[in-house]
Structure 1
Amino acid sequence: MGRSVDHEARREIFAAAALRVIMRDGIAGLTVREVAREAGFTTGALTHYFHSKDQLLIEASEHSSTLVRERMERAEKVRPTFEAIRRVVALALPLTPERRGYWRIWVGYWERSSYDDDVARVMRLRYDEWRSRLARLLARAQAEGDVAPDVDPREAAESLIALVDGIGVQVLLGVGRIPPARQRAMFDLWLETLRSGSLVGTGSRSR
């Protein structure tokens, strides 16, 4: 009798290999042949699980999200919540080569989501999760007295996502000189405006 195959474990191996390929070679380097080689399997073994580049891209994103999610969940438990927010956002900013690799995946996702419904669906789910995490943390910080009472946590979360996305794209494309220290300073400036409720676009509840 032939050996049984743990299909979930095999998919995980291919997902991790796809992630390594993207982080090393970008979306353009993501091919069935290259992922199979990286995983140490034949292309036939890989195509048993994935039939297109977009399926591999989705699986690589799922794998990277699992890794980042675990780190963010640990950071979210930190008190005071202002410090938890700093740690969570630091995990999203392109502060290290590894995180810039994750940004290569995300930017590739943006491009492919414009014509692939499955990729667009997964991207929306990722943004929903990210938005909810930030809004939850901002509401907690507000309850602790570190965020002004007239700040809407949900709208503040949208503003923060726009800031992080803007930094990420500029760093990845090399169109802005934003080293890690500058990235942190930009975020800290944004965060400090929440204490007074002066952040533009947070949607004051008094309106």
Structure 2
Amino acid sequence: MRSEPGSRVGDSGGEVAERVRQVIGAAGVSQREFARRIVMDPSKLSRSLSGVRRFTVAELARIADTADVDARWLLGSRTDASAKSPAVRRDRTAAVAAPEGGRPLQIVRETVRLIAERGFHAVRVADIAEACATSTAAVHYHFPGRDELLKAAVRWCMDEDTARRAARIADAGDAADELRKLIELQTPYTEQQRWQWSVWLDLWAEAARSTAVGRLHIAYYRQWRATVADVLRRGVGQGVFRPTTDPDADALRLTALIDGLATQVLAAAPGAGTGTSPEDMQAALVAYVDATLSVPRPFPKD
């Protein structure tokens, strides 16, 4: 792959797409999960596999690195029998172990970490390369431009957040319990949770200036509000939320309240004793849910 990373690869016969399908099959995961691993929009992967869209050099580089196959095999530039199967791994000349999840995910994870620490506009590609113990050329090989790297970071944060929510509510007793768990997950108690919110705040600001990131931002919030609305809808059916609840409208109000309170929490130093604390945030959210959504429960009799 000596072409520019952002250039598209010709595939008039569909051979490249077929090789990528073989790689996905060998990985034993769904197409959506594979897209997550290579930090690629699932719809773009689907269109590329169907021949409607051509893969870029950088996308094939990420596929090769993540699946540990020879990039030249993906392009069909090697014809020897040993290179015809994705089960045949690339020769490794370095003794250094590959980063967990492959180089593309490492680059994205380190990008997100640096954004949380410094803010997006203070992070240079050279900083990311240093954090990954690689070169700036290697970063550009997988993500040709800064904009593409930012979009990948946003998508990775979205996927991670969605996975955390699913895991958190998996053992919930009812819809009311699900909503409580979601509120706890969104309240920045821990350093990790503050870190995640710091990234989101920086990406929100960038979304306001970038059409591409803005579209991802809209997609994420549509998904997040739909999750909350579904919980409210189930709660009405279970009798734990009021029949007058409007799931979509109430989900919009509740998620907006979560965002506003979390911003106030992050503005205060942890443990400073001033400003809005995580405990204040959770108490306010629970009070809002009890006052506007939950079915009133009678006081227990003595």
Q: TM-score range by the shorter chain?
A: 0.7 to 0.9
Q: Distance in 1 between matches of 2:208 and 2:175?
A: 36
TM-score w.r.t. structure 1 length? Answer: 0.85
Residue 195 of structure 1: how far off its partner (Å) = 2.0
Cα displacement (A) at 1:55: 2.4
Counterpart position of 1:178: 276
- 1:59 offset after TM fit, Å? 1.7
Match of 1:61 in 2: 154
Aligned-pair identity (%): 24
Task: Supply the distance in 1 between the matched residues of 2:160 and 2:144 (Cα, whole angstroms).
Answer: 24
Greater relative CO (CA pairs within 8 A, separation 6+): 1
Say whether the 8 Å CA contact 1:93–1:183 is kept in structure 2.
yes
Q: What root-mean-square deviation, in Å, do the aligned CA atoms of Structure 1 and Structure 2 show?
A: 2.1
2:248 corresponds to which letter in structure 1? R
Unpaired stretches in structure 1, ≥5 consecutive residues: 198-207
| Runs of 5+ unmatched residues, structure 2 | 1-62, 68-101, 297-302
- Alpha carbons 2:232, 2:241 under 8 Å: kept: yes
In the alignment, does 2:286 pair up with 1:192? no
- Superimposed CA distance per residue, residues 94-139 of structure 1 (whole angstroms, 9 cap, x where no aligned partner): 2222122122221222221222111101100110110100000111
Deviation, structure 1 residue 170: 1.6
Structure 1 residue runs of 4 or more that deviate by more than 6 Å after TM superposition:
none
Larger helix percent: 1
Q: Residue 240 of structure 2 contacts residue 295 of structure 2 at CA under 8 Å; is this kept in 1?
A: no
What's 1:94 paired with?
188
Aligned residue pairs, count: 194
Find the partner of 1:108 among 179, 202, 213. 202
Which residue identity is paired with 1:102? Answer: Q
**Counterpart for residue 164 of structure 2:** 71
Taking structure 2 as the reference length, what is the TM-score of the superposition? 0.60
The correspondence of residues 26-175 of structure 1 with structure 2, limited to 5 A, is: 26-77=119-170, 78-174=172-268
Check conservation: 1:22, 1:101, Cα contact below 8 A.
no
Q: Give the CA deviation at 1:64.
A: 2.3
Is contact 1:14–1:46 with CA below 8 Å preserved after alignment?
yes
From the superposition, tell whether residues 98 and 35 of structure 1 become closer, same or farther in structure 2 (CA, over 3 Å).
same
SS in 2 for 1:83: helix
Amino acid in structure 2 at the alignment position of 1:178? T
Letter paired with 2:294: R
d(CA) in 2 for partners of 1:186, 1:54 = 37
